[in-house]
Structure 1
């Protein structure tokens, strides 16, 4: 019994030290601006995005993801919308009222009153946004972005008002930890539905958001998030080393305590691009660069630099690649170029920054939510905060 007691004490000490280190690193590094884009340009683009994609009225608003057919939205989109709005507000470009409308929509479309994860999709039927029973499951990426946006809102507005952002964030984080983290690998699952033998080990590399997990640890005082951050970063390192390009797939498998990495087949999860650098993986440069921006992690910098070296050799950035670097389509898309522009600015790659800055400031697509929203998010994230 005494031996077990000491083991418990040693384990607790390790977690406390990890939390203290993670908190110190995160709190001593002040977020820096990246692209030197005029505030007026950011404001113009934010207003254009808001007018085109932000729907709803009264107490709730959502980000519309469809341009034809039935009106729909996704938890992913709501997360982006909340991130855009709070970061625009921190620059004096958006209002708290808008953020509250987005937050109330999230609250109205949680899986249930007792489960604060957001239902992954809603469709407008008879004037109301509703989810089917099958849609009342989660998508981890959306929940992670919503939680992070709520934390930013709490830090910006300091909890004053009718919505307690901090309390909402902590409730959501507890649910994410309980339902969306793999208890063996301590990595994010793709959703709370991924519980079967063939889905529990699925991972979106773009969900390995080390910066978020560091923040969750320091914000909540829960050192277990530091472990998630460490495991996420080490997994990204391994994935980065697998190919000379540094590219990673939309989905992989990670299993066991050793976090053994495996591949998936095309269409195994959601699309023909499941095993390619596609519309999920295109977010990785942004996610990893954010960690470098926030913590100055040299590991994150190296991962981003390797990907940027590959893209610097391309005449133009296409909307999809094999992991060995062969373009899978002939067209471009801001969902692929905007995160690269942000990443190049963040790590100080002047050549690529000049090459890509026009991506951030180009006119927004008016009938394609995903590239327009990622471009807007990269743009507001690149702006200077008001002092």
Structure 2
């Protein structure tokens, strides 16, 4: 309630003043109680992609039992609640600085922690996506960015220190945490596409500087993993799967042109596949921290966080959203394969009821938690969007999520998942790419040799990024080809290598009639292959058969492909 008191001298003057005070009272009551507008907001840029964007992504389902308008209203209402509870701008040590108020784990080194770089990154993404619903979104965003820059890391000033405290001594005092900086840099790209970079902050330049001089310089390891902070080593093998923000890395690649981000994506998918095949083949789960090579769960109490750092716990719980977004936004089937595995497991484990999800699991799916919380439930609902078979799960999940209100961590991640599920998290560089059919999917396949049972040629054409074809070890040349069933116009292939890759190889095509091709034409020749994912385009060729002909191996082993995809015209 707003109370206005007035002292007057004389009846006529008093009545006139009371009349004006009543008008003033009516105006004040019309102003929202949570407002951050300043004198400069008249100059705020109009949003280019105002909420709601309600994008539909190829191959992705949304809740089907409610309308898009209903989803938009639920997101708006949840955002309003979140904003009023967690978004603050009361820093005496940094006037105009905004932060997301939240609890932390770890030692605040004598300071009173108000928030973290993690929360700062979440808040900046949310503010950029909610512009249009919230007229104060750019003011909020710029205030959050001001805090991120003021509270720079003690290790790399292009990054943010992981603690926000209302003390100037905290600015530049703390080292960084990878997750917050990845979200902050990504949010700057969102901000550029939302408001443009002609205002007080050149969002795109700030993003590029942070990506190149901060994140790449401090977080991308020599082995193409992402480490834990700017205090960590460039040779580190320890990594946090909740930091595997693959769609962020694709956005980094698009604004910098740096191929390192594709290398990181490819390597992290390999790390996941190696880890899951050994420790979580039935569930798809991954531990809070992953260490060593070959990858394995970190020990208990890793970095003194808590006992369950070797399990699927409060860090790894965020992983399913990060992985499914790579499929939703960029169409990578590896993301779909992981999301499907997770969704299939949790549906069975919970009896298809989101309220039965527990806050923590061992790698084999044994519960270690005892209740449902949004930071565990909502990302697993998001994973279900990659497959229409999970429609009931996604519907039930939305109903569970939209009214769930808990604490900073769960509520904030719940809101991010709601933005994704409702189609209101858009690709910063443009719209979703049109899906292109893989002409080789599940087609008959043949190879010069196989390493043994389970490594047959067809494994490279089954759409499963866990299975693979592998040739005999130590021999050259070796080859694998697919029969498309009829002659097609073929113009490109994707090869997704296991660690055993080719340095020199050819892509060859044939349109021979009959069951066994004899005459092959070279469509492309590669002499500097380095593994990972090769996307090779060439002049369109009429072909029924497409072959990878390996000439020189890159390892002492054989050749091995998770997937061999073929593209062209149907």
State which of 278, 293, 306 in structure 2 corresponds to 1:271.
306
Which residue matches 1:351?
A: 392
Q: TM-score, normalised by structure 1?
A: 0.82
- Is this contact kept in 2: 1:91–1:383, CA < 8 A? no
Which residue matches 2:96?
A: 59
SS at match of 2:309: coil
C-alpha distance 310-94 of structure 1, shift in aligned 2 (>3 A): farther
State which of 37, 56, 72 in structure 1 corresponds to 2:114.
72
SS at match of 1:277: coil
Q: TM-score, normalised by structure 2?
A: 0.57
Which residue matches 1:324?
A: 364
Equivalent residues in 2 for 1:154-169, closer than 5 Å: 154-169=192-207
| Structure 2 Cα separation of the partners of residues 220 and 33 of structure 1 | 31
- Distance apart, 1:219 and its partner CA: 1.3
Which residue matches 2:500?
A: none
Which residue matches 1:81?
A: 123
Which residue matches 2:27?
A: none
C-alpha distance 279-160 of structure 1, shift in aligned 2 (>3 A): same
Q: Deviations over 1:186-236 (max 9, x none)?
A: 110011112398xx2211112122211121111111112111111122222
Per chain length, whose mean CA-contact separation is higher, i.e. which structure has more relative contact order (CA < 8 Å, sep 6+)? 1
Unaligned stretches of 5+ in structure 1? Answer: 1-28
Indicate yes or no: 2:404 matched with 1:360: no
Indicate yes or no: 2:227 matched with 1:224: no
Which residue matches 1:302?
A: 337
SS at match of 1:162: coil
Indicate yes or no: 2:79 matched with 1:46: yes
| Structure 2 Cα separation of the partners of residues 322 and 292 of structure 1 | 26
Unaligned stretches of 5+ in structure 2? Answer: 1-56, 105-110, 351-355, 432-570
- Is this contact kept in 2: 1:237–1:299, CA < 8 A? no
C-alpha distance 160-132 of structure 1, shift in aligned 2 (>3 A): closer
- Is this contact kept in 2: 1:34–1:342, CA < 8 A? no
Indicate yes or no: 2:238 matched with 1:202: yes
Q: Indicate the RMSD between aligned Cα atoms, in angstroms.
A: 2.6
| Structure 1 Cα separation of the partners of residues 61 and 187 of structure 2 | 18
| Structure 1 Cα separation of the partners of residues 188 and 396 of structure 2 | 33
State which of 211, 214, 217 in structure 2 corresponds to 1:173.
211
C-alpha distance 177-342 of structure 1, shift in aligned 2 (>3 A): same
| Structure 1 Cα separation of the partners of residues 62 and 198 of structure 2 | 30
| Structure 2 Cα separation of the partners of residues 191 and 132 of structure 1 | 17
Which residue matches 1:24?
A: none
- Is this contact kept in 2: 1:137–1:193, CA < 8 A? yes
Indicate yes or no: 2:323 matched with 1:288: yes
- Larger CA deviation: 240-249 vs 91-100: 91-100
Q: Greater share of helix residues, 1 or 2? A: 1
Aligned residues: 345
Which residue matches 2:411?
A: 372
